[in-house]
């Protein structure tokens, strides 16, 4: 037998042996849980409202904890400082934290008071009386060497509270008036994100709503209607021509026929916006005259926010302010133990294709790359919604800086790509462009906390483009509590993520179905938010970045693994929930960071992936043999 044939025979034998070992040594699923009841449509609105109220309440708690820390730090940092230095400090603090409306500095030794941004908000007589009552209570508290927090109160249409702190030497006190506009932002955000209201509004940007299966026109009147709806621009069309491109003459003919400007092109597809035709008319025109490979609407994509045996590894507990009290989600997936095996690597980039990210947030400093803006070309990918900043913090908020929250990855760089506009919606084009740009600019993992119910070939082309370049693509399943497959999550190349709550049960809002691969925490997740703040949000949008961050840790620990192998490792090492094996509510189970990283190993191919590794070697060898003949 020749050396080549001996090698092939040996590899086949090894492959067969390892397949047997893989099944024999396959770990049993842990922590089986009884399937949580899935709310019916009549219950869904009530359950989602409960999630919204929970998120607002948790955000209020995060905000108060964060403000208290800033006031204590201010007292410590300005101890014995001159008045002008205290004034400069107060100015910097308020510039970076716009919700700190007023600061009152009281020196109990000299009996001097300094007020920064001195005008109090004006309301009705009753509201002003209540404000002064809480202010006087705050002053009395710190005179008595006590800290103080008032309840929230309304002035005009805005909500406020007072907080007061006294320094350790009891010589200085500070009182802050805090604007709680973040609570309204979170409430408004979650009304749309959890689909409690029709979103996006019909008529804005000439948007049409259609049934995702039939493309028949429907009107979205309630939040629940969203589960059957896809949205698209009524005067636009996506076209892929059979030869992949048009000549200048053909473009001139089309623009004259449909009365449009120069079309946009991405990959093989073009987007035309007509000044005189709607989608149906455009489809008829292109189908009859140009016989394209496919035509489809220019869809919109919306944000989708909404225990293992201990083997003795030590637990790393970060000192981040909000970690121990509020970040239940990280211990739930064994993050602290996992950090003993991998904390990430700056060489492995995780892209966040979303609404952008606040680059100046103190808890994201040093974690972000420059990124890209697919909405406003040439602009920085700033976040004007909050969604992308929240997602980015889950992945990589700075750890052990005594500030805010802890991210899952310590060192993976985050690549912000703005593909959704200031309403939280984006188009097939902007999302596809964001995916392709991220793949071309070093992303090893892409997180897509967005979706729609329309199966777009144009978007799928972009997904395949990134997947073929060895990118791990992770996407949120959606927040309509429906079994209808959402895209891009349901594409074969994408890891689809549903959401769980703190009890390890399906989150009430989470979509489900046979396409679900894994679950991750998604209920009241604390993370970074614009204006240097923190918020708790619920949604599969929050679950997805847990998995994207894990993919970043795996690729940092074992760069030899392909994207498919990384996905298989996360799936096969998930903690089985619900029915044994794969089910439509939990997929293969909730991701487990420690167990997955332990299976990923170092630079060698893990045992459970060795059959696939051997198969690739066999195919490579076969190709070499065929080439040599």
Q: Which residues are catalytic?
A: 354, 387, 541
Question: What tokens were used for 88?
Answer: 């400069």
Question: What tokens were used for 401?
Answer: 């800086």
3-state secondary structure of 250: helix
CB-based contact 161:100 (threshold 8 Å): no
Strands 349-354 vs 294-296: parallel, antiparallel or unpaired: unpaired
Q: What are the beta bridge partners of residue 270? A: 239, 265
CB-based contact 506:498 (threshold 8 Å): yes
Question: What tokens were used for 507?
Answer: 């989150």
Residue entry with tokens 């004034």? 87
* 159: Cβ contacts below 8 Å, ≥ 6 apart: 152, 153, 179, 180, 181, 183, 184
Cα 314 from Cα 333, distance rounded (Å): 15
Cα 571 from Cα 284, distance rounded (Å): 44
Angle among Cα 401, 359, 525 to the nearest 5 degrees reads 60
Count Cβ atoms within 10 A of the Cβ of residue 469 and give its class: 0-12 exposed, 13-18 middle, 19 or more buried: middle
CB burial readout 309-323, b (16+ within 10 A) else e? eeeebeebebebbbb
**E-strand stretches of 578-622:** none
Cα 473 from Cα 492, distance rounded (Å): 10
Strands 494-500 vs 472-476: parallel, antiparallel or unpaired: parallel
Residue entry with tokens 């209020």? 60
Cα 329 from Cα 335, distance rounded (Å): 9
Task: Count the Cβ atoms, other than its own, within 10 Å of residue 346.
Answer: 14
């Amino acid at each position: 037998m020749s050396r080549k044939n001996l090698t092939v025979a040996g590899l086949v034998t090894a492959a067969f042996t390892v397949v047997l070992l893989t099944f024999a040594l396959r770990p049993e699923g842990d922590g089986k849980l009884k399937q949580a009841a899935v709310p019916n449509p009549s219950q869904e609105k009530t359950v989602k409202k409960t999630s919204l109220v929970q998120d607002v309440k948790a955000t209020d708690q995060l905000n108060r904890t964060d403000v208290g820390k800033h006031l204590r730090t201010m007292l410590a940092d300005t101890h014995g400082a001159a008045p002008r230095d205290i004034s400069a400090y107060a100015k910097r603090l308020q510039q970076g934290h716009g919700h700190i409306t007023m600061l009152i500095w009281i020196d109990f030794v000299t009996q001097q008071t300094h007020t920064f941004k001195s005008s109090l908000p004006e309301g009705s007589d009753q509201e002003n009386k209540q404000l002064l009552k809480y202010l006087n209570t705050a002053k009395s508290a710190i005179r008595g060497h006590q800290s103080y927090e008032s309840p929230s109160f309304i002035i005009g249409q805005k909500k406020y509270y007072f907080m007061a702190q006294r320094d350790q030497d009891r010589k200085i006190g500070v009182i802050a008036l805090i604007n709680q506009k973040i609570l309204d932002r979170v409430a408004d955000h979650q009304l749309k994100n959890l689909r409690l209201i029709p979103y996006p509004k019909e008529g804005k940007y000439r948007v049409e709503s259609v049934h995702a299966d039939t493309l028949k026109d429907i009107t979205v009147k309630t939040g629940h209607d969203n589960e059957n709806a896809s949205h698209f621009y009524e005067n636009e069309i996506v076209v892929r021509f059979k030869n992949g491109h048009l000549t200048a003459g053909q473009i001139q003919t089309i623009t004259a026929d449909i009365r449009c400007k120069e079309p946009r092109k991405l990959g093989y597809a073009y987007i035309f916006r007509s000044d005189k035709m709607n989608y149906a008319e455009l489809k008829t025109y292109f189908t009859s005259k140009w016989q394209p490979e496919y035509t489809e609407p220019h869809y919109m994509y919306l944000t989708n926010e909404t225990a293992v045996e201990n083997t003795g590894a030590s637990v790393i507990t970060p000192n981040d302010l909000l970690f121990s009290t509020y970040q239940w989600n990280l211990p739930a997936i064994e993050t602290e133990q996992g950090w003993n095996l991998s904390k990430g690597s700056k060489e492995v980039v995780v892209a966040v294709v979303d609404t952008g990210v606040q680059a100046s947030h103190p808890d994201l400093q040093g974690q972000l790359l420059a990124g890209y803006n697919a909405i406003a070309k040439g602009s920085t990918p700033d976040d004007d919604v909050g969604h992308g900043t929240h997602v980015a913090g889950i992945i990589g908020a700075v750890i052990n800086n005594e500030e805010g929250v802890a991210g899952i990855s310590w060192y993976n760089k985050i690549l912000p790509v703005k593909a959704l506009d200031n309403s939280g919606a984006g188009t097939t084009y902007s999302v596809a462009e964001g995916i392709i740009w991220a793949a071309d600019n070093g992303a090893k993992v892409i997180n897509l906390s967005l979706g729609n119910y329309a199966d777009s070939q144009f978007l799928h082309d972009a997904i395949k483009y990134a997947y073929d370049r060895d990118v791990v693509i992770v996407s949120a399943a959606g927040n309509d509590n429906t079994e209808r497959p959402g895209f891009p999550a349901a594409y074969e190349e994408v890891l689809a993520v549903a959401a769980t709550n703190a009890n390890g049960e399906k989150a009430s809002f989470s979509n489900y179905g046979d396409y679900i691969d894994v679950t991750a925490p998604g209920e009241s997740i604390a993370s970074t938010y614009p204006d240097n703040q923190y918020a708790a949000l619920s949604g599969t949008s929050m679950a997805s970045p847990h998995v994207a961050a894990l993919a970043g840790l795996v690729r940092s620990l074992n760069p030899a693994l392909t994207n498919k192998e990384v996905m298989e490792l996360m799936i096969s090492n998930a903690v089985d929930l619900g029915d044994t094996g794969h089910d439509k509510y939990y997929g293969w189970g909730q991701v487990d960071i420690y167990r997955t990283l332990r299976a990923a190993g170092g630079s060698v191919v893990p045992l459970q992936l060795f059959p696939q590794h051997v198969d690739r070697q066999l195919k490579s060898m076969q190709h070499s043999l065929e080439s040599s003949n």
